[in-house]
Amino acid sequence: MKIPKGILYTAKLLEYTSPKLATLFAAKLFATPIRHKVPKREFHMLENSIQKQINMSSINKNITVYEYGNGSRNALLVHGWSGRGTQLVKIADLLVAHGFRVISFDAPAHGNSSGKTTIMTEFIACIHHLNKLYSGFNVIVGHSLGSMATLNAIKQGITVNKVVIIGSGDIIKDITDEFVRKLRMKPSISEKLTKHFESKFQIKMNDYSASVAAEQIELPVLIIHDTDDVDVPVKAAYNIASKLKNHELYITTGLGHRKILGDTHVLNKIRDFIK
């Protein structure tokens, strides 16, 4: 996505005048997703799902939850940054057709959920809350940041039979470095950005890297990634795979970061894996 010139100019000006203000500016942008308009291909999931507003007292925000299908097994879908609960609609349809009730949600500051800013730990909190609310899931499918959040939730104790991660990010430092680079700011701002979040939320950001979480996961994981993904390099998939004890790796070409969610071959691979 092309960053508006006004944001680039402001970032450069603040960097020159006050590294502290530049860091706060970058942190606000980093934690603010874009709410995209729901495309027509997702309308039928909106129209045929039960939608609920659920209060997340642990983060003081409300999230919109979608219940889709009425199968005997539960599956959870976790969208990525600037996504929404209906974005994985093709995967939702596949799961419903194979006897699942699909649960998905708009993460905080996404879709119809409350808030203007969020971070991955709030995605993880939502997974934990829904896991308890729906008495567990047989399958969890995550995309992008949703994949990272899923692996971290499992590391923290979520029990599930099988997991599918698609286009997953990996090393947190790589993500902040790339974000700062796109803002055309100095690399030192990335380090300051990390220190800002670690101080604010009392966490170690690298502990949330997908490959770090993967080291403690033993259940079956299907990793799907595209070689032409310009948002998340395919090296992330290989690194995560190298840390998992039980995985399948499925690499595609020409689908990028989002078209991969509806590709027929990808859907067939997921179908075979969840069987």
pLDDT in tens, the chain (275 residues): 678 999 999 999 999 999 999 999 999 999 999 999 999 999 999 999 999 999 999 999 999 999 999 999 999 999 999 999 999 999 999 999 999 999 999 999 999 999 999 999 999 999 999 999 999 999 999 999 999 999 999 999 999 999 999 999 999 999 999 999 999 999 999 999 999 999 999 999 999 999 999 999 999 999 999 999 999 999 999 999 999 999 999 999 999 999 999 999 999 999 999 98
Which of 204, 227, 255 represents a domain boundary (last residue)? 204
- 246 lies in a domain? yes
Claim to verify: residue 131 and residue 247 sit in the same structural domain? yes
Claim to verify: residue 92 and residue 218 sit in the same structural domain? yes
Claim to verify: residue 242 and residue 122 sit in the same structural domain? yes
Angle between helices 172-182 and 19-30 (to 10 degrees): 110
Claim to verify: residue 158 and residue 254 sit in the same structural domain? yes
Claim to verify: residue 6 and residue 134 sit in the same structural domain? no
Helix (H, G, I), strand (E, B) or coil at 138: strand
Claim to verify: residue 18 and residue 146 sit in the same structural domain? no
Claim to verify: residue 186 and residue 233 sit in the same structural domain? no
- 159 lies in a domain? yes
Under 8 Å between Cβ of 131 and 158: yes
CA–CA separation, 157 and 71 (whole Å): 25
- pLDDT at residue 275, as a whole number: 87
Claim to verify: residue 188 and residue 135 sit in the same structural domain? no
CA–CA separation, 134 and 148 (whole Å): 21
Claim to verify: residue 182 and residue 98 sit in the same structural domain? no
Per the structure, the complete domain to which residue 6 belongs is given by 1-30+172-204
Contacts of 213 (CB under 8 A, 6+ apart): 148, 151, 152, 154, 155
Which amino acid is residue 72, in one-letter code? S
CA 163 to chain centre: 14
Claim to verify: residue 184 and residue 232 sit in the same structural domain? no
Number of domains the chain contains: 2
Predicted model pTM: 0.96
Which of 188, 204, 220 represents a domain boundary (last residue)? 204
Half-sphere exposure of 177 (CA within 13 A, CB side): 8
Claim to verify: residue 83 and residue 186 sit in the same structural domain? no
**Which CATH number belongs to the domain containing residue 99 in this structure?**
3.40.50.1820
Claim to verify: residue 72 and residue 151 sit in the same structural domain? yes
